[in-house]
Structure 1
Amino acid sequence: MKRFERIFEPKVALSLITLIAVVFRVIPLRYKYLFGYDPYFHLAYIEESLKAGEWINFLTIAGGPWGFLIKNFHPLGLWMVPADVYKILKIFGVSLYDAFRITPVIFGVLTIIFFYLTMLNFYGKREAFFSALFLSVMFGHVFRSMANYYRGDNYMLFWYSVALFGVSLALKKTRRSWRYKRFAFYLIPAFASGLAAIFWQAYYPMAHLLIATERFLSFLHDRGNYKRHNRPKIILTRPRRVLQDNQTNPLAKRSSLIAGELKVFTDEYSIYDSLKEGLGVINPHERVNHSGREFARGEVHVNSCENRHGFLRAYLRKYRVPA
């Protein structure tokens, strides 16, 4: 199984998920027609506006026999994006029709990328990989972001993923040095929710959903915080017994339980340099070099402590307590 671990590394995982997302969404390009009435209406309005050299307000070829007032419909951003994609790609010989068809794919894939980065910040490599993989193949999202089918809600999902990414950055920065700086990341969801109003008339559900999501995530995150819970956690093991403490000064308490000399095995982390000063009865202090891929040297190892920490971290992760 270890040979498959590399797939969860962000560079590999994101590349693979992006490829899968693109493949699933470009399949409809084999058809030469658009799906449904709405895409034809949107394409016709873009064509007529580009011919006129401005974004016209009255479209005579829709809403017959009276025509259609655009200002009573969606914001202009809904049609500007495919037009801008066409202006960029036409230097490569791409027609307006083809640029219009692939625009949903571009923003659908970008949604998945930001969703992956969000899950990576909130949880970890595996959770981000499987969450984004599920979204990349999920029918509901493929249907709304596939080629040949143009809908405004695709933009709302894109800006929602950008907003969540900003929230994840803000909640990820938990160190004291980021205590106030991290609030700058909340500008990302603020601007994302505002920019959503440029692209689709039903932008307001995103604003309410974003606020509810942010409050829920903040609630989960605040169940454990640095000030209340991030005290030193030290585990000392010996056969059939584990000494565990999370007090502010655990070394002082441990020294009262130790009689005689004590062998101590740790890794190379520099925080252990002062152990002799704290306990005063250590002889010897042996280290294993984890960064050099050394995990045991005779009886010198910290595997027992790592085992206990594994169970401890599983508990702390459930309650969102920093560790």
Structure 2
Amino acid sequence: MAENLEKKLKVLSAFLDIDRSIGANLELKKVSKILTEKLISVTGCNGCAILIINGDKIDVISESGFLKNFDGVEFSSSMPAIKYIIESKSGIFTNDLKNSKIASCVPDGCNMNSMICEPVIVADVVKGIIHLDSMKNNAFDEEDLSFVRFIAGEIALALERSLIYEEVKNLSVIDSLTGLFNRRKMEEDLENEILRCERYKREFSVFMIDIDWFKKYNDYHGHQKGDDLLKEIGSIFLKNLRKVDKVYRYGGEEFLVLLPETNKRNAIIVAERLNRIIAQKKFEGEEESQPSGKITISIGLSSYPLDGLRKDEIIKAADSALYRAKSHGRNRICVFNN
């Protein structure tokens, strides 16, 4: 009787703590860590993990109490127990694991005897799993199961909030027309790259790129075609650069490219390749509107630390080089040179 009362008080205290601790917290990992601690405290389980499902990929975003660390361990939606939970949208609750319906899923040498696995459901889709286990037989009761289900609901809410938060966050750094990063994101990334290079004595380069005679194309073909051209050229840049390189819409028909770990000599090679790809590409309507009959680009190039130590110095140097490229006939690359 006293033990039962103590557990009820523990559960009630956990409810209040969860409400106070989580509140409007939008970071899923922080929320999950708090919930993992509460699950262990209330149920007395040996191990607890919260898994998030994203297609075939499964991430352990919080775990505690296991003998083996989950770093580097890969989980798959094709694993029998996980597959069962995803397909049935039902949990697993057993106090005698080796004689349960999922006994065949238990690896040799496993010392688990009791287990709860509860799905986290968002919009009628299993988006996560809460896993608890214990070495004891009959370690969990219906009250534990109810508490785990309450936690599953909290995680579902946290997931929905975090997805909305990520969407809003992305909107604040993505250019709505091209889908590239915007100027705000560029300034943030440049600051971080300068700090990194300053610390580790590394180099990076920047391109300022302008579409030659874009106004003529836009005026002749209309704004919709002009928008389509901006999107197409942005996409070409992304396809022909490394994953670590970042492309931003700087404004109007100007783009900025950030090339980490790239010195001036190697950056020139990349710039020449981009210039050549655009010049060789056939764009709709270019013959009618462009003075040369072709869509081309001009590129201004600057590098850290040769051309500046601050963000504004690097951008100004690339912009100055771009102005020179346009002044000398366009469809060319100019390198900033002090």
Question: What TM-score do you get using the length of structure 2 for normalisation?
Answer: 0.27
Q: Taking CA–CA contacts closer than 8 Å with sequence separation of 6 or more, which of the two structures ends up with the larger relative contact order?
A: 1
Question: What TM-score do you get using the length of structure 1 for normalisation?
Answer: 0.28
Higher strand share: 2
Higher helix share: 1
